[in-house]
Structure formats: structure tokens, C-alpha cells
Amino acid sequence: MDADDRPIGHVLTRRELLALLGVGGFGLATGSLPGQAPAVPGCVVRPAQTEGPYFVDERLNRRDIRTDPSDGSVRPGVPLELAIVVSRLSGTACAPLAGAMVDVWQCDHLGVYSDVADPSFDAKGKKFLRGYQMSDAKGQARFTTVYPGWYRGRTVHIHFKIRSPAGQTPGYEFTSQLYFDDALTDRVFRSAPYAERGERSTRNEADGIFRRGGSDLMLALKESGRGYAGMFQVALTA
């Protein structure tokens, strides 16, 4: 079991959002696919989750995080196009947040994170499956990656962190994780290169971190070429 148990960051809870907007029966969206409007106009509120032990502030500004700049190798896996859309909620107004620094990091098909040492692996000096993008005028930060693998004690997930640019006052930071439908993961893991890893040890509902808000952090995916594409919306308080 890893040490993904340290909570960092905060966004509005559902109760806090309802109190702020002063309305009842407001439904929160659970994500939307590229080209679709969010289920609820405006901001989508998400729970913060632990940063975990594998975050390294590499400051790698790149969209395609599959490559390892240390040797030019490319991590194998099913292609995944990921868009994280960041909004700012101020009062009752919601607007795209441009210029946010969005980091993502994940394990490869063997459950290995780059540039860290762990009892089960040592990938110090490697930099695969890590990177950041600045959100554009629409609040979007886009990444090309692969469907993540698994490691013991955790379900399949991708970490992300949203930060204000250096020197901005007041600053902000929000950290959480993205999760995947178990049935889709089962289908993906039956193919190479994931199949060589064997059957995963933990599904969503057996993951203690997932049970603390993971149902609101599911990444909805659609097939795209040889892989998948998904868009995830996050609202930060002003």
C-alpha cells in the first residue's frame, strides 16, 4: 500500500456551493466528453484528494508526456487524450481560468512512476508520464498520455495539480485524482502491454482513497482513433 493519504487543497463542497448560490436541487455534473456541454452550466465542483508520495515538481512544460527526455524512449500503452478545464467561481459567476499551471503525473503499464524510488522500483532520473501545461483562454490544459497501469493497494488513477503562476497574489493550489470505469479498465488491461502485469489487486470501491469522493472524479471517456479521449472540468474558488 502506498502513502497516498495526505489531503492537499480545497474546492467548494456540494453543500458550500448550494449555500453560495442560494438554490436547492442543484445537480453537480460528473464530467463531459469533448464537444459536449457540461451537464450543469458554469462551474463543476470536485473534491480534493491526496497528492501522494510520487509528485516531483519537474517543471516539464509539454503536452505529450509519454516520452522520457532523458533517453528519448516512449512509454507504451493505449493512447489517451486528456483535457482538464479549469474555471474560477467568484460569487455566483463562473468563468474560464486562463494561465493556471496544470500538472499531471501517473504510473506506466507496470505501475512505475518516474524519478522516484520505491521498495518495488527505482526510476530516479527518468521523467516519463509527467508534465504540465498552462490553461488557455478557455481554461483548457491538454495532454497526450497513455491509459495508466496499476500498483498494489490502489485502483487505476491519474494525479493532477492546479497552481497559480509563480509570484501571483493571492495564489492558489488544488490537488486531486482522476479515476476510470472498472469495466473499461478490465477491457484495456486484457491487451498489451498491460496484460503482462497480471490481474490488478484493487478495483475502485476497494480503494480507500477512491471511497473519499472518487465517484465525483470519474473521467468519462470516448473512443478516439486507437485509444480514448476525455475532458474533465474543475472549479476553483476565487
Measured distance CA(144)–CA(199) in Å, rounded: 26
CATH class of segment(s) 14-237: mainly beta
Main-chain dihedrals φ then ψ at residue 163, nearest 5 degrees:
-135, 155
The rounded mean pLDDT for the chain is 85
195-230 confidence digits (pLDDT tens): 999 999 999 999 999 999 999 999 999 999 999 999
In degrees to the nearest 10, what's the CA dihedral of 57, 165, 177, 238?
150
Instruction: Please give the pLDDT value at position 169.
Output: 81
Domain coordinates of the chain in residue numbers? 14-237
Where is pLDDT greater, at 128 or 92? 128
- Inform me whether the pLDDT recorded for 165 exceeds 90: no
Where is pLDDT greater, at 32 or 52? 52
99-117 confidence digits (pLDDT tens): 999 999 999 999 999 999 9
- Inform me whether the pLDDT recorded for 18 exceeds 60: no
What pTM was estimated for this model as a whole?
0.84
Measured distance CA(238)–CA(20) in Å, rounded: 12
The pLDDT of 177-196, averaged and rounded, is: 97
In the chain, what are the helix, strand and coil shares in percent, each to the nearest 5?
A: 10, 30, 60
Cβ proximity of 115 and 145 under 8 Å: no
Q: If we measure between CA atoms, which residue out of 157, 37, 179, 47 comes closest to residue 106?
A: 157
